[in-house]
Structures are given as structure tokens and as C-alpha cells.
Structure 1
Amino acid sequence: MKTLQNLIGGSWEDSLGDALLDIVNPATEDVIAHIPGGSPEDVGRAVAAAERAQPAWAALPVAERVARISAWADTVAGHAEELAELECREMGKPVGVGRTFIEGAVGGLKASAAQALSYSFEETVDHPDGSSTRLLRHPLGAAAVITPWNFPVTMVLGALGPLLAAGNTVVVKPSERSPLSAVRLFELLDLPPGVVNLVLGDARAGAPLAEHERIQLVHFTGSVEAGRQVGARTGDMLRRAVLELGGKDPVVIDSGVDPVSTAAAVAFGAFINTGQICTSMERVYVHQDVADEFVAALVEEAEAYAFGDGHDEGVMMGPLVDERQRGIVRRHVADAVERGATIRAGGAEPDGKGFFYPATVLTGVDESMLVMSEETFGPLAPVVVVSSFEEGLERASRSRFGLGATVYTDDPAHMAAAARIPAGVVWINQWQGGGPERLYEPAGDSGLGATGSTAAYDAATRPASVHLAARSAS
């Protein structure tokens, strides 16, 4: 049984810790690999390697850093199928779905890195008295990137572009539940030794990394609970943190839209990756004028979402990542039913091995239920019928989360009103989307710190001013 290694300073090394963790294929429940549990010593060695590599990396011209990152992205693109297959084995995502997201992430990496070519790392402002000020953006140094299990490759690539292009070096800690694809991703790495390092493990690696005194920025994606801990520790150390945490994203459906095509779009937003996306559609508010047709079409869509091993042809949903995650889904459905909700599709676990759960539609739900208030991270679509678009917006805004939201409407006034939803990103008439210029900051418990476009470079650099006084006449 293979035991995965850390990447430190360009070399693959065994962990200095003693503990080992099992990597389990969620479709078969077979153990497929082991990883180290992690240790502070592993983290210390990785941070030291990142610090050693940082001055030379930052000294390279921006265009050369961007070219090196882009070349690595091209290499990754050539291995998208292989990486998607590894994601399928470790967390269940169907291979075709994984490949699509990885290919998109490669494009995103190249685009975000290329933004460094136009970002203002240095400019000079001349003043009327003859003095001038140089405005500089310095790289921070060594940064930590801690990623979740649901998109092992995509989330790493999404974070690295601005950090590396700005001249920082990085220590990456992927989730202990899905490290296989991250390890392979960095086996493909073609950057100077130490520019990117990898440490494996659970909290025994993650906590020492987030708390390391030489880490200047922590880019963390994960649960609200863990994000609070990271934020508290980095705040205590006066270090930066970018936190993308949980979501309970709403979708508001207006009266004038086509209910059948909208139901297909909502099914995709609720069930893709088995609902294991931070921005999955987890609360559905539909106008009463189209509710009956919409619910009927959504039920039909859910019943057509075939689930099974993600390697199999025609499978649209793989398993949940593990039994713990399936237990959350099970508990949310049971709570909703006990409080009066109706299961319209799905809702029953299949027999046999694997952590499978079918696409499920619930009606008769309200905000008192867990399925409407807590992040589910599973293939559930709870539907609330509202009497007006305004009611839909108001109820969509009742949440401690504020990651994303989606609105379907043909009314220009309602399109404008959609911006009132307190969320980092609001999509109108299409879930997901947006170019490399998009920037956002999650609201509420969904996170802290702006990211995307120039905001990502602002977070990855430290501004400084150098003032040059005017020369006196001789």
C-alpha cells in the first residue's frame, strides 16, 4: 500500500511524524493509500524551504514568473484526465465532471497569473513641489494554502496564480481526505525547488502551518469552525488571512421564467459533484405562479440523475466523500421530514457499499429546518414557494452565510434588485460564470478577505511608499 510523501525544497521526503491515515475510495470503501498524519517538524522544514527560495523567485522579472507558471499550467492540462481519475478514486467525483473543472482551473490559473503583467507593482507620483513618491507592492514572503477535499486540484490552482506571480513562495496543505491528486499535481511541477512545497496530514499539519510565525498569509478554504480558528490565530499574530468558508446559497425564481429549463439549471446547481460545492444551490425560493410546473420538472430532473461509481459511463453523481458527510445529509433530511417537509424525489440510501445518496427534492420546508439553515453539502434541493419576487429576495437574504446567490428573472428591475442579496457573488440567469476580472468578498459567516482579480494581488503584496524630497537649488 503506497504511503504518500511531502514535497519539501524540491525533494519528496517521508514525514517526520509517526501517524498514518487511510485514504478510502468512497465508492468501494476500500483503502487505496496511506498518508502521514502530519507534524510540526514537517511544516517547519517546508516553511524554511519556501523562505529560502523566495528571494530568488521574487527577483525574477514578472514576465518570467508568469511564463513559468503558464508552462506548468500547460503541463497540468495535458494530465487533466489522469488527475480527474485520481479525484474520482479519492473523493468520488465522476471523471468527466472532474476533468471539466480541472481544465477550467488550468485556464483560470493562466489568466490570474497573466494579470500580474498589468498589475501596478510600482508607479511614481510626481508632486507640484518637485518631490516624488514611488508606490511599491512587495511580495509578502512565504504563504500557506490550505485546501478542502471537494475540489483537490481546482482549489489549489485557483489560489496559486496571484501568490506565485506576485513573487511569493507557498506551502500547500491539501485535505487529508483527498490528497492523491494534489500529490500528482506537484509531481508535474516545473518551478524552482522550494517555490511550491507540499505537506500532508490532518490538523497535525494544518494547525502548525496556519500558526507558523514565518507564514505571512494563510489562504484557507474549508469549514466555518476551522476558519474561525485560522482567523483567530492569524489575527493574534498580526498576519493576513483570506478565508472562504461555508455557504448556504439561495436561488430565487421569478414568475416570468420558463419553469422547465430553470428546473434543469437548478438541478445542475444543486446536484453536480453530489452537492459538494461551497456554492451549491441549497435553498430554492420559487414564485407561486410557476411553482407547480417547476417542482414537477425538478423532481423529474432529480430522478434522472444517475448515481454510482464515477468511473462508470452515464453516472452523473458519485458518492459523498465519506460516511460522516452522508450522515449530515441523512440528518438534515430526517429533521426536515420530522418537521413536516415532504420528500418528492430521492431521500433513501441505497443498499451496498459506497457512501451514495440520491438526488433529493424536498417541499414544505421552512427556515426552522436544518436543511434551510445549516450547510448540507449534499445532493438536496429544498423548495419554498413564495408569493412574490420581493418575498423571495427577502427570504434568500435571511442567512448567516453569504457566499453566493443565483436569481432567475426576465424583469430588468428585478435583475437590479438582485444585488441586494448579501453575498460575495450574485449570478443572474446563469449559475457560476464570470471572467478573471471578477473579485468578491464573502459576507457573514462565509468568509473574510477580498479575492479575485486585482484584490488577489492586493492580498498577496504589501504596499509601501518611498518619498523623494525635491532637490534644493544650488
Structure 2
Amino acid sequence: MLIARNPMNGEIIAEYPALTPTQMHERIGDADRAFDSWQSSTFEDRAKVLKAVARELRADKDRLAELMAIEMGKPIKEGVPEVEKAAWCAEFYADNAEQFLSTETLASDASNSYVCYQPLGTVLGILPWNAPLWLAFRFLAPALMAGNTCAMKHDPNVPASAAGIAEAFQRAGAPSDIMVNLPLETGNVEQAIRDPRIRAVSFTGSDAAGRKVAALAGAELKPAVLELGGSDPFVVLADADLEKAADIAVLSRIINAGQSCIAAKRVIVEEPVYGTFVEMLQSRLAKLRLGDPLDKGTDIGPLARADLRQNLHRQVSETIDAGAQCLLGGELPEGPGFFYPATLLTEVSETMCAFNEETFGPVMCVTRAADMEEALQLANETDYGLGAGIWTANTELAEQMALRIDAGQVAINGIVKTDPRLPSGGIKRSGYGRELGPHGIREFVNAKQLWIA
């Protein structure tokens, strides 16, 4: 049984029956049987389906945003744009998949030699709760447009959101079972990965869970893409546009109550502007409103679960005990729900908990750097390598710095974000493989070489 709780008050919203192992086996079989006809369809036919799904998402965006607010606490003003972004992803791959997977002719000793890209079969997507629509479609859209079918195992926290995605495919008139919803209890995921009809795995989640998925997929010799955690540095040099940098730092950190892998988690500020920048951050964070995610005036909703809040508070407490200053927040609110206030920790060193662990909540840590070189050293002093931000008026220097940062993507004077047009992914404990862009759609295809005498 999957039990959904409202993070506003901790009360049970509904209980949903999970698939039994037998039912799961049947649903994977449905997707497997749908593969032959779907892979034989043209890019044009697939595009029509994905665009129809996108229309259904947009038509239902208010309800889907409300489901996310109720199930995992995302403010309604963020939920509607998330649904729009998911629809955009479907449309983007509908428009560009054929080009991304076009045959490549390569010179050799043959009269003709080329590489074509063919789908693998049924791909299993194991998804988290923090962006139920967007993270689903950055898996679904490229995999489906490549000609694969998809088995979607969404997080147990968001069963109604997962059902809403499946309903969008049904209303769009998509061919039966090109996408099947697998409401599974966690204990049955291993069996799904090992099912011989699953040909590849896409996983988004924590690095601890990612290790388990990687081990299982590797044991079965199945390709996998892992988008795991992040402790992204946000480097601010003395010549940066401080007002704009402060705006973006706060926006990046607070989106989805800070529950984002690519949020700015470690703000590293060059010494001459450290004090000024801290004041800017504090004034902005202090204005944010904590409250009901269904209220359009809410900036920060509750965290998704009680255990997540407790772990976040542990990280904050340990960091303060180690000598960091808490200028804002840092205390558990009284009353129902899993709320945590916007928290600002300063004088955070590289030995402290919040610098070394991923903080998944509205907690901003600020670290002082003597100069650009120390800022780079601090930025790379992490086991993660997902995203990074650099702020300076010298864009040539920023590009040189970006090449030295250990991360899958770097934004210069802008927010680190995911975009259907650009590849996204990490290194080190942030995972491997890429989603989105032309690179993402080539993760789950067979790059087949043909040589003709």
C-alpha cells in the first residue's frame, strides 16, 4: 500500500494499492509488447502523440499543480510552471528527435559506412518526489521519441501525481502501454530492474540509492543513467553584480523549499565583498513567506516528509555547533506540518557538516574565500559534481574558472537550471550519463554501425 501524506499537516491524504509482483510483471509485459509497433512508427507519428500529451498537460495544469502542492508541498505558483516545462520538454523532443538521431555517415575503407540509432526496448524510469512532472518528462520524452517504451516507477510520496501523468497519455489517445505506470513499494524495485524485458534504467535520487541501482543494473549488464545529489557551489567574486547575484542565489536556493539537486547550496564569496553580500542575502531571505503551498502568496512550502526535516535540522545544528553563525532561521517551527524556515548560516568552513553533506531544504551556507584561487579550491572540495555558478564581471576569467570546476554544468552570471535544449548530469557522487539535449536522447539507443563492402 502506498500512503500519501499532506506535508502541511502530516495527515494521510489517501492510500493507494501498490502493484503485486505478479501485477508488476504483467505491466512490464504490456510495455514490452507495445515496443514492436512503437519502434516501427515514424518520428512524425511519435511527435503527434507527444504533442497531444503536452496539450493534455497544459489543459490540466491547475489540477496537477494542486496535486503536487498537496502531496509534496510545492508552492502552487511553482507547480503550474513545472507542468508547463514538462509540456515544453515533450514538444521539444517531438520537434527535434529525428534530427538528434539522424544517421551519421563515417569515412572508412567501405563503400558506405554509417551509424544509425535504434531504440533498446522498454526503459525503466525510477523517479523522485521533488519535481513529479518535470523529472518524469525529462525521462519520458526523449526515451519515447527514440522509439522505446517506458515503465515509470514514481516515488511513493506522489502516487496521485504519477496517476495524473498516466491519465494525460490516456486522454491524448497515445497507443496503449507505450508508457505504463508502476506504483511499486520500494522492495519490489529490484525485481523490476532485474526483469529481462527491462533493457535500461534511468534513476534520479540520492547517491545512496543510486549506488544500489547502479549495482543492480551493472549486475544485469543494463545501461543506466544516474542523476544523483548535489552540493552546488555558487562563487561570487568581488567585481560581480552583487544585487543580481544575491537575487539569483536566493531564488536558486529557495525554489521548491530548497529541495532541488541543482540549487545553490554552498555560497562562496570573495573576501572584499563578503560582509556586504551576506547582508544582501539576509535581507532577501527574511522577506520570504513560509506557508500553505496552495496559497499563491507562499514562497516556501513544507518539506515533503518529517524525516527530511529532521535530517536537515541535524545538519544545521551540527554546523552551528562547529562554529558557524546562524543569522536567520535554524529552529524547528512549532505546530503541525513539516515546515522549516529560511536559514542563513555564515562563516561556514570546509570541515563543517553543511559544507560536506547535501542540504535538501531552505538552508543557505556562506563561506569566505581570500581570492579567486581559494574560491575555486573550495568549490571543488566536495564529493559531488552536479552544477556550479560563477559570478564576476570578467566573463573571460569566468570561462577559465568554469573549465576548472568539477561539475556537469556551470552557469556564468545566471541561474543553474535544467533545460530541454541542453544536456544535464553530474560527475563523482552526482552520478553519470546525461539527460536532456541531444546527448540525453542518445543514452537509451543502440548506436549501430553498418559497413558495406
Structure 2 residue matching 1:188: 3-state secondary structure? helix
- Between Structure 1 and Structure 2, the one with more helix by share is 2
Paired AA for residue 254 in structure 1: L
Provide the residue aligned with 1:320 in structure 2. 303
Residue 205 of structure 1: how far off its partner (Å): 3.4
Q: How far apart are the structure 1 equivalents of 2:279 and 2:104? A: 59
Residue 433 of structure 1: how far off its partner (Å): 4.6
Q: How far apart are the structure 1 equivalents of 2:2 and 2:49? A: 34
1:171-190 equivalence runs, <5 A? 171-189=151-169, 190=172
Q: Which of 412, 424, 427 is residue 428 of structure 1 equivalent to?
A: 412
Residue-by-residue CA offset, 1:351-373 (whole Å, 9 max, x unaligned): 11010000000012112221111
Residue 348 of structure 1: how far off its partner (Å): 1.4
Paired AA for residue 309 in structure 1: D
Q: Which has the larger radius of gyration?
A: 1
Distance 1:120 1:154, change over 3 A: closer
- The 8 Å contact of residues 248 and 399 in structure 1, kept in 2 or not, is answered as yes
- The 8 Å contact of residues 38 and 205 in structure 1, kept in 2 or not, is answered as no
Provide the residue aligned with 2:83 in structure 1. 102
Distance 1:296 1:126, change over 3 A: closer
Q: How far apart are the structure 1 equivalents of 2:130 and 2:417? A: 19
- The 8 Å contact of residues 37 and 204 in structure 1, kept in 2 or not, is answered as no
The range that moved more, 370-379 or 203-212, is 203-212
Aligned residues: 449
| 1:459 pairs with 2:443 | yes
- The 8 Å contact of residues 53 and 195 in structure 1, kept in 2 or not, is answered as yes
Provide the residue aligned with 1:395 in structure 2. 378
Q: How far apart are the structure 2 equivalents of 1:29 and 1:148? A: 19
Q: How far apart are the structure 2 equivalents of 1:275 and 1:357? A: 10
Provide the residue aligned with 1:264 in structure 2. 247
Q: How far apart are the structure 2 equivalents of 1:64 and 1:100? A: 27
Q: Which of 6, 20, 23 is residue 42 of structure 1 equivalent to?
A: 23
Paired AA for residue 53 in structure 2: W
Paired AA for residue 85 in structure 1: E
1:305-454 equivalence runs, <5 A? 305-416=288-399, 417-433=401-417, 436-454=420-438
Residue 322 of structure 1: how far off its partner (Å): 1.0
Q: How far apart are the structure 2 equivalents of 1:428 and 1:363? A: 23
The range that moved more, 112-121 or 52-61, is 112-121
Residue-by-residue CA offset, 1:161-214 (whole Å, 9 max, x unaligned): 110011100100100012211211211213111100001133133222222222
Residue 43 of structure 1: how far off its partner (Å): 2.3
Q: How far apart are the structure 1 equivalents of 2:159 and 2:433? A: 26
Q: How far apart are the structure 1 equivalents of 2:355 and 2:217? A: 31
- The 8 Å contact of residues 271 and 379 in structure 1, kept in 2 or not, is answered as yes
Paired AA for residue 26 in structure 2: R
1:154-193 equivalence runs, <5 A? 154-189=134-169, 190=172, 191-193=174-176
Residue-by-residue CA offset, 1:52-94 (whole Å, 9 max, x unaligned): 0000011111111112111111111111111110000000011
| 1:77 pairs with 2:61 | no
Structure 2 residue matching 1:290: 3-state secondary structure? helix
Q: How far apart are the structure 1 equivalents of 2:358 and 2:417? A: 22
Provide the residue aligned with 1:133 in structure 2. 113
Residue-by-residue CA offset, 1:429-472 (whole Å, 9 max, x unaligned): 11135754422441100011133222222212102233333xxx
- The 8 Å contact of residues 207 and 228 in structure 2, kept in 1 or not, is answered as yes
- The 8 Å contact of residues 418 and 424 in structure 2, kept in 1 or not, is answered as no
Provide the residue aligned with 2:234 in structure 1. 251
Provide the residue aligned with 1:88 in structure 2. 69
- The 8 Å contact of residues 302 and 346 in structure 1, kept in 2 or not, is answered as no
- The 8 Å contact of residues 115 and 453 in structure 1, kept in 2 or not, is answered as no
Percent sequence identity is 33
Distance 1:60 1:351, change over 3 A: same
Q: How far apart are the structure 1 equivalents of 2:153 and 2:219? A: 21
Paired AA for residue 89 in structure 1: I
- The 8 Å contact of residues 345 and 365 in structure 2, kept in 1 or not, is answered as yes
The range that moved more, 453-462 or 117-126, is 117-126
Residue 300 of structure 1: how far off its partner (Å): 1.1
Paired AA for residue 116 in structure 1: A
Structure 1 residue matching 2:265: 3-state secondary structure? strand
- The 8 Å contact of residues 199 and 205 in structure 1, kept in 2 or not, is answered as no
Q: How far apart are the structure 2 equivalents of 1:431 and 1:340? A: 29
Q: How far apart are the structure 1 equivalents of 2:282 and 2:106? A: 61
Residue-by-residue CA offset, 1:365-414 (whole Å, 9 max, x unaligned): 11222111111101100101111122111100111100101111111332
Q: How far apart are the structure 2 equivalents of 1:428 and 1:371? A: 24
Distance 1:270 1:128, change over 3 A: closer
Paired AA for residue 381 in structure 1: M
Paired AA for residue 193 in structure 1: S
Q: How far apart are the structure 1 equivalents of 2:217 and 2:125? A: 13
Residue 262 of structure 1: how far off its partner (Å): 1.8
Q: How far apart are the structure 1 equivalents of 2:157 and 2:367? A: 34
Q: Normalized against structure 1, the TM-score is what?
A: 0.91
Residue 228 of structure 1: how far off its partner (Å): 0.7
The gaps in structure 1 that reach 5 residues or longer are: 1-19, 470-474
| 1:194 pairs with 2:177 | yes
